[in-house]
Structure 1
Amino acid sequence: MNNITTLLTIQDVANRLKVTPQYARKLIKEEKLTATRIGSQWVIKPDDLDAYISKYDISIEPNDHARIGTDIPDIVALSFFSGAMGLDVGMRNGGIPAILACEFNKYCRMTIDKNEPDMALIGDINKYEPEEILKLAKLPPNRKVDVIFGGPPCQAFSTAGARRALDDERGNVFLRYIKIVEEIQPTYVVIENVRGLLSAPYPYNDISTPIKGGALCIILDRLEAAGYTISFELYNAANFGTPQIRERVVMIGKLGNKKVSYLSPTNAENGCYGLKPWHTLRDAINDIEGKEQHYIEFPEKRLKFYRMLTEGQYWKNLPPDIQKEAMGAKLKLGGGKTGFFRRLSFNRPSPTLVTNPTMPATDLCHPTEDRPLSVEEYAKIQGFPNEWKICGPIKEQYKQIGNAVPIKLGEAIAKTILADMNGKVFSPIPGFSYSRYKNTSDVSWRNAMDKKLKKARAEQVNEQLSLSFD
């Protein structure tokens, strides 16, 4: 039985739910939260607040906290920029579970706490020193960290963004991640990022003007100076069992002078090279057809164009006189300047998942229904297990899933590291292309970059000579 001393005020409720007092009052007005007015203020019974949390399956942003258990796993791994934990789930499935997650976004933090409540959780990477991180992970002083993995915010390096690279605050967070690696010195470090990392411009050494690839040169120099030998490649996740065409740079650094193998593909388009064929959209979402799903309806102004498309078609398949109108409508409704504007095919992998704050499932339409893919379908495409709970408003759920690393790609990374630990080397398949692009491996990219640097230095010398004669 509740007495006056246990009743909660509006501010108490707001503090517990981590919302504003105005939002707490809104819950009362909408009769979602039972409250009683005493004098000039509302009061709430603790049992009624618990009932609201249970009925609506409310997730509350967790505080930073230490790991619950004290047992030390055979392989100690720490996760940074964990997001909705796509990379974490993949690494765990491949045999390398993390004992600590680092994530700043509050909705992602809710997702982490909902699914992995026992692991340590920290927020802003800039607020923690390495010794504090190890303490929260409950590691004894003499226990070495085996693996640190993460995908530092990629917007600073994205070809679609402003590409301010290391001058951008998020680019500096990238360097903070490297600083932690330098000080903790794990045996292996993993960096996952967008293709734009390979060409992000930045001044490098004696080259004063930004040069494409300069940012990666600085990152590699830092890691190599810390004692790591680096291998990297641009990988299409479809080649590892993901029913999605999504290309990501994966870097693996190992302490010492031996390089880790490239990832070993399990699938190939049309099943060539003796591998399994790419998985399709039907493979991914077939088992949730008919189950409850959540999505945001397309506006009617956009639907009229989708209805002109059949399975597998996109905006260029519209009549020529309609294409300009369709893309104009897309821009007015919050879509980007470019995009798929595509009705998906059941018999192909999904194109890269696109997320946009104003239209979360921006340009990918269900093959047979006039609606975007649901949150549940997106999660299946990324490979999340059915029981995985994505928290937050539906727009935030779309964003979390779209930003996640495909689970199967994470599995391939873990299996490659475990193989290296056991002295096994994966031999590349002759003629196999990991992605659609050239000069994307640590070897081919470095050769191309050396030529680019040589040319840039020559041009800079010529420019300086020209200025001296003026």
Structure 2
Amino acid sequence: MPKVIDLFCGAGGLSYGFEEAGFDVVAGCDIEARFGETFEANHKNAKFIHAPVAHLKGGALLQQTGMEPGELDVLVGGPPCQAYSVYNHQRGMDDPRSELFEDYLKIVGELQPAWLVMENVTGILSIEKGALIDRIKGAIRALGYADVDHYVLKAEEYGVPQERRRVVFIANRLGLPVIKPKPTRSTPNFVTVWDAIGDLPAIHPDQNPTEGVKYACEPMNDFQAWARGKLDAVTNHRSPRLGPANQERLRHIPEGGHGAISRSTFFQKE
């Protein structure tokens, strides 16, 4: 099986996709130690390395995973995106977090994986009026990856019940063409929120069951069957605490609405 290492791995979501596709996830690295337990639960045979990627050494990483230079098939990573997010109004290259993609590429140079996959938010497209994209691709080519490209991928086109855009860089040093992943869904066949969670039982504000709660019905579609797996109850199915005023505000939102309530209701105090 082709081997994968995930940098900035978090709970292991990006590498989980590779595992679902038949790859062997051997390790993940993140600065947050609390992510390790979830990462290793998602990837039973993988090793979690608690360290800032900036302090990581390729040689040590190979030693910990029992590989030789050039043996790794894919290095994936999603450097934290706050520096490039459109919600960060001071975003740009002056933010220290913007250097994290350079830390990722340093490890690429030391490990020399056959393929690399790096993802980030779409805000990265407008940094330096687009020059940052060219700089990243130039740095990747300088490491020996002549075949490199980037794409804006839409999560809903690949079966995710969410509108999410991500810029994904893909490159290889094998002389193979880089091809944009072909979408698996299109309107009107997107997976909707109802498709995803329509089988969950209703709960009331402040209702926080300590044990699993039975599903409201049998799986209504393939997504629900996949999401629950072999479970017959929902765990961590909790409602946030809502005071009387917030409950009243929610009651005034019509079905399918999104905040269209009177000012007097909206501004009433607890």
Task: Name the TM-score, length of structure 2 as normaliser.
Answer: 0.78
Corresponding residue to 1:281 among 177, 193, 199: 193
Tell me if the contact between 2:85 and 2:124 (Cα under 8 Å) persists in the aligned partners: yes
1:132 aligns with 2:60: yes
The alignment partner of 2:83 has SS state of helix
Residues of 2 paired with 1:195 and 1:299: CA distance?
36
Structure 1 Cα separation of the partners of residues 181 and 41 of structure 2: 31
Shift in Å, 1:142 = 6.0
Question: In structure 2, what is the equivalent of residue 101 of structure 1?
Answer: 28
What is the alpha-carbon distance in structure 2 between the residues aligned to residue 160 and residue 258 of structure 1? 37
The structural deviation recorded for 1:143 is 5.6
2:37 is aligned, of 110, 117, 130, to 110
User: Which protein is bigger by CA-based radius of gyration?
Assistant: 1
Indicate how the Cα distance of structure 1 residues 195 and 303 shifts in structure 2: closer, same or farther if over 3 A, else same.
farther
1:313: which partner in 2?
257
The superposition leaves residues 390-426 of structure 1 with CA deviations (integer Å, 9 ceiling, x where unpaired) of xxxxxxxxxxxxxxxxxxxxxxxxxxxxxxxxxxxxx
Could you say which structure has the higher helix fraction? 1
CA–CA separation in structure 2 for the residues paired with 1:300 and 1:178? 51
Distance 1:97 1:230 in 2: 23
Alpha-carbon spacing, 1:86–1:295, altered in 2? closer, same or farther (3 Å):
farther
> What corresponds to 2:5 in structure 1?
78
User: Structure 2: how far apart are the matches of 1:221 and 1:129?
Assistant: 22
Structure 1, unaligned runs of 5 or more: 1-73, 201-210, 271-276, 333-470
The partner residue of 1:232 within 142, 145, 150 is 150
Q: Does 1:185 align with 2:107?
A: no
- 8 Å contact from structure 1 (residues 227, 256) kept in 2: no
Q: Which residue of 1 aligns with 2:245?
A: 301
User: 2 CA distance for matches of 1:168 and 1:256?
Assistant: 34
* Aligned residues between the structures: 236
Instruction: State the Cα deviation string for residues 429-448 of structure 1 (Å, max 9, x = none).
Output: xxxxxxxxxxxxxxxxxxxx
Question: Match for 2:72: what amino acid?
Answer: V
| SS of the residue 2:238 aligns to | coil
Over the matched positions of the two proteins, sequence identity in percent amounts to 29
Show the counterpart of 1:412. Answer: none
Q: Does 1:223 align with 2:223?
A: no
1:221 to partner: Cα distance? 1.5
1:252 equivalent in structure 2: 170
8 A contact 1:192–1:248 mirrored in 2: yes
RMSD (Å) for aligned C-alpha atoms: 2.4
1:264 corresponds to which residue? 182
Gaps (5+ residues) in structure 2? 202-214, 216-233
Aligned 8 A contact 2:150 2:167 in 1: yes
Are the equivalent residues in 2 in contact too, given 1:81–1:151 (CA < 8 A)? yes
Among 111, 121, 136, which residue is 1:194 paired with?
121
